[in-house]
A and B are shown apart, each in its own frame.
Chain A
């Protein structure tokens, strides 16, 4: 294939409904869009400060509330990771830290980052802000329930944070909370700490269900005229599929949390076999620790995709807008999102190859796990094929997207190591696993979050974030994070086990000391670099350049609101009517290099646009 291409040559449209531009005759029905089937919903507009900004029913405010609360937990998680890296790299400086502390920090870091930071940020934050705007709705369909959802999440976070201050401290059972150790002495926080964790998780699931129903029903029922499912931005597709996964996966977490609470409080034996502790046989018998692992990972693996799918969707939109090119293979992208979502329920036990479950399961789960690599790889190809023959703006947003591609492919490839059952045997429970999942579901989604923040900040705040600071933020974060996790895989090859308070002292492993110091220093720098963004936001809000409407020249509806930032109700007097997908960039014959979704076919009659 040649790199050269000619925009003047006429394109063979795959659809037969190419506009007939030569004769100028206009089909009178060309702009027809089916009328709305239901009338518009009434919105409750807040009257006081509390109704407008605290107990608010506007999805955009709720989105910002979710975002800020999640970021707060993220900062707590970041500080915990610094403390862990201090112990691992420079134990002589961390004399105040006992093994109990270390395991509590590990546990809280993991749980916070996966559930309270990433999940809440993508679905609660971006989902609330973007879904109604992108599908052309005035708000979520159940605004009051939506408000309750956030406040339930807020209480869940409060309960979680309270566990730092109870006797015994927070739980130190590892974020996977594997019984029996989770509720037995010998594990830090096995008293109040674990109870608060289980209560907090239950509250989170309840609150999240309220939000999730809103996202799903809004997307299915409240789209504006002309917004067919196959015209939705991939961001919406990603969030929608992730929400469906969450609705099916979180109940498994909820029941396992309830069962473990009963084991802890009422001495039931769901997960507890006969146990001998300090010479005494405890009052348990007959339970199965592996049952918990099945329930946990039935939630836990879809959870990975609950984080990843919104990231896939968002990054697709960002790449398309800033490469000025339609997303390559839109339909393939949609089906890949849905397919990955479906498959994600059949791979959970790849976390359990060496858990002691029946080893014959290994064949099945290795096969399903490697099948999921195919649609995932297709998404990667389509991202880079979107860049190909594009007209790429190398701005801060695009840099985050490129950083995402590098880290995601890296982490995805190491996933093939771990999914391939017998390769997993030597690598599981080592630092290879830590490096893998931080690369693929820590750093890669973080890159998307950052790209999304730089992309949509002008919409949310009406001002442009500073590009120079943004680039510094990106390069320090990307290079730093890559140099934390890329070499960390090799610690796993040596065989260094994870969750070790002190580094292993065998002669062949002492070489790892130098690398640990290096990784720790990089972690301190990357963490500190995130405050560049905080500074950038404060500076921009005070003195930043005012954003024009639609500064990136995007097509999707959120940029075509009546005011910037959009007010309650989003679209002023009349809801927009949609005539096309959001990816009509660089259409041959069009005046600009973008055609908004609201542009009627009769307005672009002389272009070679394909019908979508």
Chain B
């Protein structure tokens, strides 16, 4: 008997833990509330199945524990019951899959008005670039990277000259405006992740990946690397500051363009490539 009671306490404890847990998700600060809702739905359906299966098991333990004078039922199959259970499960699975796919469809289709932010990752840090007045980012190549060209922008690309270089591991974003995060890495896998925004994607060297979100809460957030990238992984942090439009414009106007940065280096008369080699 004690076995059934302990199992019952485990199930009750699990449910109570879920209700009263102080450990739960952070306040959401982006448009991805649908992800949280799907998690909640999955909790109700999945949690319900978990509790039901376990309670049934515990009931059997109480009701049918061994007695010498009793025999178990002999009934190898029950086609009807199996059919009902199969269809009920299929239905439940579809109910969970549908919202998941709908939100994924939103996740992979970036809104047209999204501002592009180029996030470059390396062992172990972050750097950012924004399109300039032309609204387009210049093309890049890893081999062009040098001190006077931290993103490796092709010098001949006219779209690149007005790109805005953010010389910081903190990026500012405008509140309530969709952002398309373009991820690049110069060495290994990384992942630009802010728990409050819910979204994430790996940065993969040799290719450009992306995801999007719309920040909707002004404030400062911490960026974590969410894909293992070597010994410095746990310390690879960055920051995001979400601002209202006016504050954001002021910040934006203080940033340097690629052209200005190149000019500054020329003034210093320093060959960036040589410096990098040192």
Which residues on A are within 8 Å of B, measured CB to CB? 3, 5, 7, 11, 14, 99-100, 103, 172-174, 178, 180-181, 184, 186-188, 273-277, 279-281, 286-290, 323-326, 328-332, 354-356, 359-360, 362-363, 366-367, 370-371, 373-374, 377-378, 380-382, 384-385, 387-394, 399, 402, 405-406, 409-410, 413-414, 416-417, 420-423, 425-430, 475, 479, 482, 486-487, 490-491, 493-495, 497-502, 504, 506, 508, 511-512, 515, 583, 585-588, 593, 608, 610, 612
Given the complex, which residues of B lie within 8 Å of A99, measured CB to CB? Answer: 231-232, 234
Given the complex, which residues of B lie within 8 Å of A279, measured CB to CB? Answer: 276-277
Could you tell me if B23 and A493 are in contact, using CB atoms closer than 8 angstroms? Answer: yes
Could you tell me if A487 and B23 are in contact, using CB atoms closer than 8 angstroms? Answer: yes
Given the complex, which residues of A lie within 8 Å of B195, measured CB to CB? Answer: 426, 494-495
Could you tell me if A429 and B193 are in contact, using CB atoms closer than 8 angstroms? Answer: yes
Could you tell me if B72 and A486 are in contact, using CB atoms closer than 8 angstroms? Answer: no
**A180 CA / B207 CA spacing, docked (Å):** 13
Could you tell me if A281 and B78 are in contact, using CB atoms closer than 8 angstroms? Answer: no
Provide a sorted-by-A list of 23 A–B residue pairs whose CB atoms are within 8 angstroms.
Answer: A186-B230, A187-B231, A273-B205, A279-B277, A288-B206, A289-B204, A289-B205, A290-B204, A290-B207, A326-B76, A362-B104, A366-B100, A374-B89, A384-B53, A391-B64, A406-B11, A420-B96, A422-B38, A429-B227, A494-B195, A515-B23, A586-B74, A588-B71
Query: Closest residue of chain B to A180, judged by CB?
Result: B188
**A202 CA / B82 CA spacing, docked (Å):** 43
Could you tell me if B101 and A405 are in contact, using CB atoms closer than 8 angstroms? Answer: no
Given the complex, which residues of A lie within 8 Å of B86, measured CB to CB? Answer: 374, 378
**A562 CA / B128 CA spacing, docked (Å):** 75
Q: How far is the CB of A436 from chain B (nearest CB, A)?
A: 12
**A499 CA / B236 CA spacing, docked (Å):** 12
Given the complex, which residues of A lie within 8 Å of B14, measured CB to CB? Answer: 410, 486
**A599 CA / B60 CA spacing, docked (Å):** 30
Could you tell me if A373 and B204 are in contact, using CB atoms closer than 8 angstroms? Answer: no
Contact A585:B122 (CB < 8 A) given known A402-B61, A499-B233:
no
Q: How far is the CB of B190 from chain A (nearest CB, A)?
A: 10
Could you tell me if A329 and B23 are in contact, using CB atoms closer than 8 angstroms? Answer: no
Could you tell me if A362 and B108 are in contact, using CB atoms closer than 8 angstroms? Answer: yes
**A586 CA / B76 CA spacing, docked (Å):** 11
Could you tell me if A389 and B73 are in contact, using CB atoms closer than 8 angstroms? Answer: yes
Could you tell me if B143 and A329 are in contact, using CB atoms closer than 8 angstroms? Answer: no
**A184 CA / B231 CA spacing, docked (Å):** 11
Q: How far is the CB of A317 from chain B (nearest CB, A)?
A: 15
Could you tell me if B89 and A274 are in contact, using CB atoms closer than 8 angstroms? Answer: no
Q: Is B12 an interface residue (CB 8 A)?
A: no
Q: Is B117 an interface residue (CB 8 A)?
A: no
Could you tell me if A392 and B60 are in contact, using CB atoms closer than 8 angstroms? Answer: yes
Q: How far is the CB of A149 from chain B (nearest CB, A)?
A: 33
**A391 CA / B72 CA spacing, docked (Å):** 5
Could you tell me if B187 and A391 are in contact, using CB atoms closer than 8 angstroms? Answer: no
Q: Is B167 an interface residue (CB 8 A)?
A: no
Name the one of B3, B60, B67, B232 contacting A387, with C-beta atoms under 8 angstroms. B60
Q: How far is the CB of B83 from chain A (nearest CB, A)?
A: 10
Q: Is B135 an interface residue (CB 8 A)?
A: no
Could you tell me if A422 and B72 are in contact, using CB atoms closer than 8 angstroms? Answer: no
| Per-position binary interface string of chain B over residues 103-118, scored 1 when its CB falls under 8 Å from any chain A CB and 0 otherwise | 1110110000000000
Given the complex, which residues of B lie within 8 Å of A414, measured CB to CB? Answer: 46
Contact A355:B204 (CB < 8 A) given known A405-B57, A586-B73:
yes
Q: How far is the CB of B56 from chain A (nearest CB, A)?
A: 5
Could you tell me if B76 and A610 are in contact, using CB atoms closer than 8 angstroms? Answer: yes
Give chain B's interface residue range (CB within 8 Å of chain A).
35 or more
Given the complex, which residues of B lie within 8 Å of A273, measured CB to CB? Answer: 205-207
Could you tell me if A423 and B42 are in contact, using CB atoms closer than 8 angstroms? Answer: yes
Could you tell me if B231 and A425 are in contact, using CB atoms closer than 8 angstroms? Answer: no
Further 6 A-B residue pairs, CB within 8 A, beyond A381-B82, A426-B199: A7-B71, A354-B200, A355-B202, A490-B24, A586-B71, A610-B76
**A5 CA / B145 CA spacing, docked (Å):** 79
Q: How far is the CB of A18 from chain B (nearest CB, A)?
A: 12
Could you tell me if A387 and B61 are in contact, using CB atoms closer than 8 angstroms? Answer: yes
**Which of B81, B122, B227, B235 has the most chain A CB atoms inside 10 A of its CB?**
B227
Q: How far is the CB of A139 from chain B (nearest CB, A)?
A: 32
Name the one of A276, A331, A475 contacting B145, with C-beta atoms under 8 angstroms. A276
Contact A274:B6 (CB < 8 A) given known A186-B232, A391-B64, A425-B198:
no
**A371 CA / B90 CA spacing, docked (Å):** 8
Could you tell me if A360 and B231 are in contact, using CB atoms closer than 8 angstroms? Answer: no
Could you tell me if B22 and A511 are in contact, using CB atoms closer than 8 angstroms? Answer: yes
Contact A289:B206 (CB < 8 A) given known A180-B188, A276-B122:
yes
Q: How far is the CB of B175 from chain A (nearest CB, A)?
A: 20
**A482 CA / B38 CA spacing, docked (Å):** 25
Q: Is B172 an interface residue (CB 8 A)?
A: no
**A588 CA / B232 CA spacing, docked (Å):** 67
Given the complex, which residues of B lie within 8 Å of A390, measured CB to CB? Answer: 60, 64, 72-73
Given the complex, which residues of B lie within 8 Å of A388, measured CB to CB? Answer: 56, 60, 64
Q: Is B201 an interface residue (CB 8 A)?
A: yes
Q: How far is the CB of B141 from chain A (nearest CB, A)?
A: 8
Q: Is B222 an interface residue (CB 8 A)?
A: yes
Contact A425:B23 (CB < 8 A) given known A181-B228, A487-B17, A586-B73:
no
Q: How far is the CB of B69 from chain A (nearest CB, A)?
A: 10
Given the complex, which residues of B lie within 8 Å of A11, measured CB to CB? Answer: 74-75
Could you tell me if A422 and B3 are in contact, using CB atoms closer than 8 angstroms? Answer: no
* Those 9 A-B pairs whose CB atoms lie nearest each other, nearest first: A273-B206, A495-B195, A420-B100, A181-B188, A356-B209, A325-B72, A413-B46, A186-B230, A422-B103
**A501 CA / B233 CA spacing, docked (Å):** 8
Contact A274:B22 (CB < 8 A) given known A180-B187, A394-B3, A583-B76:
no
Could you tell me if A363 and B101 are in contact, using CB atoms closer than 8 angstroms? Answer: yes
Could you tell me if A331 and B204 are in contact, using CB atoms closer than 8 angstroms? Answer: no
Q: Is B171 an interface residue (CB 8 A)?
A: no
Q: Is B203 an interface residue (CB 8 A)?
A: yes
**A323 CA / B248 CA spacing, docked (Å):** 68
Contact A380:B142 (CB < 8 A) given known A362-B108, A391-B66, A423-B39:
no
